[in-house]
A and B are shown apart, each in its own frame.
Chain A
Amino acid sequence: MDFMNPRLPLGDWVNDFLTWFTSAFQWLLDFINLVLGGLYDILYLVFSSPVYLIMIVILAAIAFFAAGWKVAVFTLIGFYFVRALDQWDNTMSTLALVIVAVLVALIIAIPLGILAAKVSWVSTAVKPILDFMQSMPALAYLVPAILMFGIGQTPGAIATIIFALPPGVRLTELAIRQVNTEVVEAGQAFGASPGHILSKIQIPLAMPTIMAGINQVIMLALSMVVLAGMVGSGGLGGAVVGGISALDVPLAVEAGLAVVVVAIFLDRVTAALGKKTPIERAHKAAAA
């Protein structure tokens, strides 16, 4: 190799690796495809089967119990508006995809965050990986995702998971570390096991911050659905991408507004859930 004009064929190596990986672990990729695709199909079926009005009422009810009547009213109007823009099916598809991606991201992120808070080398090891996941342009890993999973919902979900997962890990780790050490010590001093301390002291006290992390994960996941549309995930992302490629301004604007409605709904509902944790209830009682 010419020292003065270096050219590292890293991309080729990665490509070779991915080719090898795809053939060697086809069973694993098939399994992931099955799980993510299956989950999406089920959720989409559930969301899109009922008459849209029933679905709107259900969403408004969720909003009412989680966040109160104001958010419920917004939900009623907002989703009716979405239907009026003829984006109902796309919206339900996007909602299903976001929920699948967020569920998987949280299943990975929360235990990993707890582990990172407890074991310092895990924390050290995880940090650069999270940095990589967040700063690598999402489009750059969409390509390998297509290579591995083909066109469809799965590569979109994978890209969304990778992009949305880091704040979940970071905020969970921070939340657990922030718990007052004297309170944890009190648990130990009365003979509580580490599991008891984690489930009865650390997680309840960390819950508001963990909920903030979950909220962030959801928002990031939603911001990825447009990109996911590029790899054939359909939904609102597909509509926006279609609007761009055909210079179809009305379609792009309508789909974009529907994304906004979904985003506000998810944000308000999850933020309100964060205020329903036992510790927040205690704070509220003390403030009253």
Chain B
Amino acid sequence: MSVVVKASHVYKVFGKRPNEVIKRLEEGADRKDLTKLGTAAVIDASFEVEEGEIFVVMGLSGSGKSTLIRTLNGLWAPSGGSVEVLGTDISKADSSTLRKVRGKHVSMVFQHFALLPHRTVRENAAYSLEVQGVPKAERMEKAEEWLKTVGLEGWGDKYPQQLSGGMQQRVGLARALAAETDILLMDEAFSALDPLIRREMQEQLVELQSKLNKTIIFITHDLNEAMFLGDRIAVMRDGRIVQIGTSEEILTQPADDYIAEFVQDVDRTRVLTAASIMRETEATISIEAGPRLAMKTLEDNNSSGLLVLDENRRVVGLVSDRNVVKAAREGQHTITDIVEKTNLFTVSPETPISELFAPSSTAKVPLTVVDENRRLLGIVPRVALLNSMADPGPATGEIPPVREESEPVLESPSAAEADSENGAAFTDEQAAPATAEAATADGLVADGDKNQGTDAATGGTADVEGGKH
């Protein structure tokens, strides 16, 4: 992976005395106190974008994100710091170099599409090629191909105004893609579209990206969009980048209260994946082992069932404690005959947890996370799935506060139930002695959850506190 865009300490100040403003900001002044000298739109922004990555810059309006993206193709010259695109420092480049960089390396998609209204859709898609001096017949042909790619075949002779918003933005996308640049800047590209179309466009972008492998820098104010598209996300506030990280990092380790508050409303189930909530498990047994060893492993793990693996740690099936005991009593030498292959539900680590709920609710055993070779990576017990939905950090949390002990809390019985079911997962009929202790001792539940598990079992209100740790 190589770095294609590198911003180092970029400042952009509008006003008469930008250098003075930068100096004062470096000394620690607040930008609000400097409004007489100039407006600092971007303050000390540093980041690197790697080849093939979707890098999202997220922030509310006025956070400086649109200004920042315009320094990346030189539409704004930074007031301080430098921007390197594919090794060229464009912050100091002359206008002809800049034009070359824009034509060959960096194209852009705009919030309000910015199509030429007096030209047909095809001519618009061909615009980037026209600027580069590609002969007419050739550029029209290429434009038509790109229109096809974005799903606008047959619309080439229409004018932009005859198309819906979503379709107009597809033209904008085709125009940018036709330039065949390595880098694509997308400035709030889907923000002007209505939600359904927006989702469709996001999905199309992800699909296109998997084919074209561009480096995309995407600006948005919509956190859900940022989390859905972004390999990494830079969160901007008041001109500064406050956190850069993957969507999971931002969701689970927000850098400050502002971000924590921000991520509150995110649909976690779209962002978090099986990999992020799966647990390690010791409750496994080799397919070649005998029932005696299986019994010992069951005892060691206080478990009621074991995952059966082959010599490459590939998941073969599972064995239940009843069958192990039975096999031992009957004097069998291996467990091969008692391996159950049904009831096992495997998922890949990239599966978003939104897709785990349905199988988890019906499966009798925890979901098994395997890699592409079916090798065991971990398991997702139901409690982990439920726990992932709880908010991180003290600033968030929508769990109702504890009032009086007499007041019934609705969540707790179901949570306790979930825990106990989980503990008893491997036994089909013997669900009776399912206590929270069984769940924790199971070895399937990580440390952090032990408290919650016990709390859940001991009392309803305690569970609420557990959730607020």
Contact = CB atoms under 8 A, between A and B. Distances in A.
Contacts of B128: 190-191
Nearest to B73: A189
B149 interface: no
A196 B131 contact: yes
Given A186-B108, A286-B161, A286-B162, A191 B117 contact: no
A23 interface: no
Interface string B62-76: 000000000001010
A190 B114 contact: no
A144 interface: no
A193 B119 CA distance: 19
Interface in A200-256: 200-201, 204-205
Given A282-B117, A282-B159, A285-B162, A191 B100 contact: yes
- Interface size of A as a range: 20 to 34
Contacts of B104: 191
Q: Top 6 nearest A-B pairs by Cβ distance?
A: A191-B103, A286-B161, A186-B114, A191-B102, A278-B118, A279-B118
A201 B118 CA distance: 9
A162 B406 CA distance: 92
Nearest to A280: B118
Contacts of A283: 117, 161
B115 A205 contact: no
B117 A190 contact: no
Contact of B114 (A183, A200, A281): A183
A190 B103 contact: yes
Nearest to B103: A191
B436 interface: no
Contacts of B98: 191
A2 interface: no
A180 B102 contact: no
Given A190-B103, A190-B127, A191-B131, A185 B159 contact: no
B110 A182 contact: yes
Nearest to B163: A286
A192 interface: yes
Contacts of A19: none
B179 interface: yes
Interface string A265-283: 0000000000001110111
Contacts of B162: 285-286
A178 interface: no
Interface string B98-130: 111111101110111011111100000001100
B116 A201 contact: yes
Contacts of B61: none
A193 B115 contact: no
A46 B98 CA distance: 52
11 contacts: A180-B112, A186-B115, A189-B73, A190-B102, A190-B127, A190-B128, A191-B99, A191-B101, A196-B131, A281-B118, A286-B162
A278 B119 contact: yes
A188 B70 CA distance: 11
B132 interface: yes
Most central of B73, B104, B116, B160 by chain A CB within 10 Å: B116
* A contacts with B: majority SS: helix
Given A180-B114, A190-B179, 8 more contacts: A186-B110, A189-B73, A189-B75, A190-B128, A191-B98, A201-B116, A205-B117, A205-B118
B102 A188 contact: yes
Interface in B154-170: 158-162
Nearest to B172: A186
B75 A279 contact: no
B131 A192 contact: yes
A191 to B, nearest CB: 3
Nearest to A180: B114
Contacts of A205: 116-118
Contacts of A191: 98-104, 128, 131-132
Contact of B159 (A188, A189, A190, A286): A286
Contacts of B114: 180, 182-183, 185-186
A40 B342 CA distance: 99
A204 B75 contact: no
Interface in A143-187: 180, 182-183, 185-187
A223 to B, nearest CB: 33
B73 A193 contact: no
Contacts of A204: 116, 118
Nearest to A207: B118
Contacts of B73: 189
A257 to B, nearest CB: 40
B99 A282 contact: no
Contacts of A196: 131
Contacts of A286: 159, 161-162
B117 to A, nearest CB: 5
A234 B98 CA distance: 58
B114 to A, nearest CB: 4
B116 A190 contact: no
Nearest to B132: A191
B107 A190 contact: yes
Nearest to A182: B114
B161 A193 contact: no
Contacts of B159: 282, 285-286
Nearest to B102: A191
A286 B314 CA distance: 61
Contacts of B161: 282-283, 285-286
Contact of A183 (B100, B115, B158, B179): B115
Nearest to A278: B118
Contacts of B111: 182
